[in-house]
Amino acid sequence: MIYGLNIHLFFFFSFSAADPPESEHVAPAIVIGPKNTTVLVGKEAMLECIASARPVNGLAVSWKRDGRRLASGRRLIVPAAAASDAGLYVCEALVSNSTAKPVEAKAYLTVMEPPSMTVQPKEKIFADLDRNVEIPCQASGVPQPRIEWYKDAVPLSKLANARYKVSSATGLMVRRVQPGDGGIFQCFARSPAGETQVHTELLVSSVAPTLLSPPSDQTVTDGDTALFTCQNSGAPKPAITWRKGSQVIASGSVQIPRFTLLQSGGLQIQPVSVQDSGEFTCIASNSEGTINATAALTVWSRTVISVPPDDQRVIKGTTAVLACNATHDPRIKISFKWDRGGVPVMPSSGGRVSVRPGSLTISQTWSGDIGDYTCSVTSQAGNDSRSARLEVIELPHSPRSLTALLSDSDSRSVHLSWLRPFDGNSPLLYYVLELSENNSPWKVYLSEVDPAVSEVLVGGLTPARTYQFRLCAVNQVGRGQYSAETQRMMLREEAPSAPPNNIVASGRTNQSIMVQWQPPPESELNGVLRGYVLR
């Protein structure tokens, strides 16, 4: 409750000859403004404001807070200040029926609250050795009290113990409790409004180890990671030792590659090998006792493809066999699967394609069987897959559109051209060109024509003879069919290229000479012999 005392209109000014007549107006002024005031909660607070003006009977002093009018009068009294009364108070002086502006003065009222504990520790706190313990202590008040800690009546600031962490938000944290931490802890909350304190007794205890999650039996595949748990509790914190049989494999002081003692007390083995199979024991011990637990490790040897399929080229119509065998742990089952380019290979009903453990057999192969075949083996102890390419090859087809033209530049040459045939899925090695001269049987004329060309100039022919040509392509499989033979064509006649042979002249009579000779060889005639010129 706030109310104004009605003894306002306190004024003190004196009159002199220089003073203006009483009828004149003097604007209101605040002579002594209110002062910033601090009171304890529940006590009386008083703000005072002294103003002057003329005419004095028009002067009114009033109080406002947050724009709300509270009371009028020189003094504002708050009989029992509450926290909600704190704030800015405004004293306003005005002269009624005057045009003079009201004047204001301001002051803050601060309501202090003595410290009080909001969170406090229990009377006794039990802490396990080596564990962290928190002693809660929080206080509130206005102004916010300072928290100060004492241990056995000595300020913590004097002890300078790095394991003692004071937080104003929570309390005191004692890390890794030691036997010497036992004692009385006092928490003081102090402010100008007063002080309060609480205390607690910290009791340090030790506990024999227990296993919260003992190790369980593990089965892992060679090369993977094995993890045994050995989550434990105890005070002081138990020391963990792992043994395999009688051999210590991991502890605070023993470190062996692949075996890692985890912070949690667990054991990690990475990578696991088949020889690691056996029993592992976790031993937790501290000053109060020792406990152990044992679990077995089973290591499967990893499934791997031992006989992978090989790339193959088979001749069309023959049987292709793609091998695939795997080694695996005898204790597990494995299964094989084949696919071609990601599509599963299914055994065909007619038995042309059959899948047996260790192989894929395809009989009566054709070009539709060409592809990348993948053998996949799946098992609990690992998966593996290997691929191979199957090519089905056949004889090349016959060259098409073989044409022969007489050469313009060389009367004894023929220009041949053709279209490249299907190569039978195996690169062409060469072409074989045959000709038949004057209807005689076919004979090889060019035995290794570059497979890259599709035309050739056949030279060295004989004029006036007839010729026919045919061509076949050869690949790894063999010699393909001959092309259709060309039309029979005749080379132009030419003058004999050799003279007659063995010309002999002898006198027969006293008036005549006998001249005898042999004609030029047949191959040099270059046409039908029409006669001789004798000179």
Name the 3-class secondary structure at 275.
helix
Name the 3-class secondary structure at 156.
helix
**Which residue's CB is nearer to ligand NAG, number 140 or number 327?**
327
Measured distance CA(344)–CA(347) in Å, rounded = 10
State residue 157 phi and psi, 5-degree precision. -60, -30
Measured distance CA(362)–CA(355) in Å, rounded = 9
Measured distance CA(262)–CA(241) in Å, rounded = 11
Torsion sign over Cα 521, 522, 526, 527: positive
Window of 140-148, 149-157, 183-191, 378-386 that interacts with ligand NAG by CB under 6 A: 378-386
Q: Is 108 in the site for ligand NAG (CB under 6 A)?
A: yes
User: At its nearest, how many Å lie between ligand NAG and the CB of residue 259?
Assistant: 17
Measured distance CA(121)–CA(149) in Å, rounded = 13
Among 16, 23, 84, 97, which residue interacts with ligand NAG (rule: CB under 6 A)?
A: 97
**Which residue's CB is nearer to ligand NAG, number 277 or number 380?**
380
User: At its nearest, how many Å lie between ligand NAG and the CB of residue 167?
Assistant: 29
Measured distance CA(366)–CA(371) in Å, rounded = 11
Name the 3-class secondary structure at 85.
helix
Among 6, 44, 80, 96, which residue interacts with ligand NAG (rule: CB under 6 A)?
A: 96
Measured distance CA(362)–CA(317) in Å, rounded = 10
Among 344, 358, 427, 521, which residue interacts with ligand NAG (rule: CB under 6 A)?
A: 358
**Which residue's CB is nearer to ligand NAG, number 87 or number 499?**
87
**Which residue's CB is nearer to ligand NAG, number 64 or number 479?**
64
Q: Is 385 in the site for ligand NAG (CB under 6 A)?
A: no
**Which residue's CB is nearer to ligand NAG, number 283 or number 456?**
283
Q: Binders of ligand NAG among 319-348, rule CB under 6 A? A: 325, 327
Q: Is 205 in the site for ligand NAG (CB under 6 A)?
A: no
User: At its nearest, how many Å lie between ligand NAG and the CB of residue 510?
Assistant: 5
User: At its nearest, how many Å lie between ligand NAG and the CB of residue 231?
Assistant: 17
Residue with tokens 């004979």: 443
Report the DSSP pairing between strands 183-191 and 194-205.
antiparallel
Q: Is 289 in the site for ligand NAG (CB under 6 A)?
A: no
Among 178, 205, 218, 383, which residue interacts with ligand NAG (rule: CB under 6 A)?
A: 383
Residue with tokens 């036992």: 182
Q: Which of 195, 171, 167 is nearest to 120 (CA)?
A: 171
Q: Compose the 254-283 pattern: x for residues touching ligand NAG by CB under 6 A, - for all others.
A: ---------------------------x-x
Contact (CB, 8 A) for 94 and 28: yes
Q: Binders of ligand NAG among 496-525, rule CB under 6 A? A: 510
Burial class of 212 by CB neighbour count within 10 A (0 to 12, 13 to 18, 19+): exposed
Q: From the CB of residue 158, how many other CB atoms can be counted at a distance below 10 Å?
A: 9
**Which residue's CB is nearer to ligand NAG, number 10 or number 300?**
300
Q: Is 251 in the site for ligand NAG (CB under 6 A)?
A: no
Q: Where does this chain bind ligand NAG (CB under 6 A)?
A: 36, 58, 96-97, 108, 243, 281, 283, 292, 306, 325, 327, 357-358, 378, 382-383, 510
